[in-house]
């Protein structure tokens, strides 16, 4: 049976207390939930005004982000809606998943609660809600576990890099240095409009956030790629042929260095320090090329790259499992909520 949103939920935002962002603490007695990507936005030690009638569901009016909250809390200052169930037999985890599956159009940085109020929700018996929530909880827990495993492996690689080479920003192990351009020479990528791409090809097209599409033609091979405009700081490597878009910088000359090592060197060198522009962040290769950077013997580079290759094999296995779990969750959500 389907129920209209307003028959299932009531807006209780007025009973929550909002904390200005400038007053968020890194640690504190009570969590603050807002409409941002991070589950917990910050903390406070305030006592007065805490919202304790949990569980509760939070809706980000601007961002459309939905959070299930089961601890006493405070709210972020802007764009937050708190939702309580009107029905006594409601399972909040079930309602949370139902809202996550609902289609709420993205109209930019506008308020979306008016769209949320128009949806309808399949509302079965409490017993059925519990069963569905339990299944989705289990799959969600496995997804979170796989993501945590990937994070741990990334941390392992970083620890290995720091152990071998120190912090490249401060050259904490006092390696010899040289100009950046002598280690890797960067060049701006090439424009390739969507309508000119051959997505049936096997050549990866890299943007500032990694692989965006595929093509039948390459512009380079065996290089590193990083964001030039927009997203700055992420670094990727490709040991085969690739097409770097004009939103990227890519290595036109690796100077005999190992491409895997170079990718991590640039990642930990923190290229975001060098972006300019008051509007869209932009990375100027001419500025970077003049910076001093550690100059590591190829033998040590290869040793590190071999370690990364072994870790990448583990990451691939975990990523494949994660992909299957996410497909399963999507299918279950469709099955349960239509």
> Domain limits of the chain?
2-123, 125-150+298-337, 176-295
Q: Are 100 and 66 in contact (CB under 8 A)?
A: yes
What is the reported pLDDT for 277?
65
Half-sphere exposure of 171 (CA within 13 A, CB side): 11
Identify the pLDDT of residue 278: 66
Q: What is the pLDDT of residue 308?
A: 98
Which residues have a Cβ under 8 Å from the Cβ of 196 and sit 6 or more positions away? none
pLDDT along the chain (338 residues), means of 10: 93 95 94 95 94 96 95 92 94 97 89 92 96 98 98 98 97 97 98 94 96 96 94 94 97 98 97 80 92 98 98 98 98 95
Instruction: Count CB-CB contacts under 10 A for residue 302.
Output: 13
Tokens standing for 85? Answer: 């169930």
Q: Which two tokens stand for residue 136?
A: 């989705």
Q: Are strands 74-76 and 18-19 parallel, antiparallel or unpaired?
A: parallel
CB atoms within 10 A of CB 157: 17
pLDDT at 107: 87
Partnered with residue 211 across adjacent β-strands are: 206
Closest by CA to 102, choosing from 56, 59, 140, 136, is: 59
Query: What was the pLDDT predicted at 109?
Result: 80
- Neighbour tally for 205: CB within 10 Å: 25
Whether omega for the bond prior to residue 168 falls within 30 degrees of 0, making it cis, is: no
Of 41, 80, 84, give the one whose Cα is nearest residue 61.
80
Asked whether this chain's domains 2-123 and 176-295 adopt the same fold, the reply is yes
176-295 in CATH: which number? Answer: 3.90.220.20
Tokens standing for residue 111: 């308020």
Q: Taking the domain 2-123, which CATH number applies?
A: 3.90.220.20
**Three-class DSSP category at 92:** helix
Reported pTM: 0.85
d(CA 59, CA 285): 42
- Give the end-to-end CA distance of the chain in Å, rounded to a whole number: 12
């Amino acid at each position: 049976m389907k129920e209209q949103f307003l028959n299932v939920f009531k807006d209780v935002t007025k009973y929550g207390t909002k904390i200005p962002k400038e007053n968020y603490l890194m640690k504190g007695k009570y969590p603050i939930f807002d409409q941002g990507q991070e589950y917990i936005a910050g903390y406070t030690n305030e006592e007065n005004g805490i919202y304790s009638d949990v569980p509760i569901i939070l809706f980000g009016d601007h961002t459309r982000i939905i959070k299930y909250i089961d601890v006493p809390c405070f709210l972020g200052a802007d764009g937050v809606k708190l939702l309580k169930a009107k029905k006594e037999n409601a399972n909040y985890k079930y309602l949370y998943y139902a809202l996550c599956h609902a289609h709420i159009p993205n109209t930019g940085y506008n308020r979306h609660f008016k769209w949320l109020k128009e949806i309808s929700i399949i509302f079965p018996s409490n017993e059925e809600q519990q069963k569905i929530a339990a299944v989705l909880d289990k799959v969600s827990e496995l997804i979170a576990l796989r993501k945590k495993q990937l994070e741990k492996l990334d941390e392992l690689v970083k620890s290995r890099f720091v152990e071998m080479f120190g912090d490249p920003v401060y050259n904490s192990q006092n390696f010899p240095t040289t100009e950046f351009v002598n280690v890797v020479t960067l060049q701006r990528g090439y424009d390739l409009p969507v309508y000119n791409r051959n997505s049936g090809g096997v050549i990866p097209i890299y943007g500032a956030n990694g692989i965006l599409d595929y093509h039948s033609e390459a512009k380079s091979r065996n290089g590193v790629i990083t964001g030039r405009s927009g997203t700055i700081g992420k670094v990727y490597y490709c040991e085969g042929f690739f097409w770097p878009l004009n939103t990227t910088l890519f290595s036109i000359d690796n100077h005999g260095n190992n491409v895997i090592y170079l990718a991590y060197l640039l990642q930990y060198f923190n290229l975001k320090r060098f972006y300019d522009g008051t509007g869209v962040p932009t990375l100027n290769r001419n500025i970077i090329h003049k910076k001093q950077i550690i100059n590591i013997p190829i033998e040590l580079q290869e040793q590190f790259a071999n370690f990364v290759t072994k870790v990448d094999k583990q990451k691939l296995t975990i990523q494949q499992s994660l992909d299957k779990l996410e497909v399963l969750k999507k299918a279950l959500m469709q099955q349960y909520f239509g």
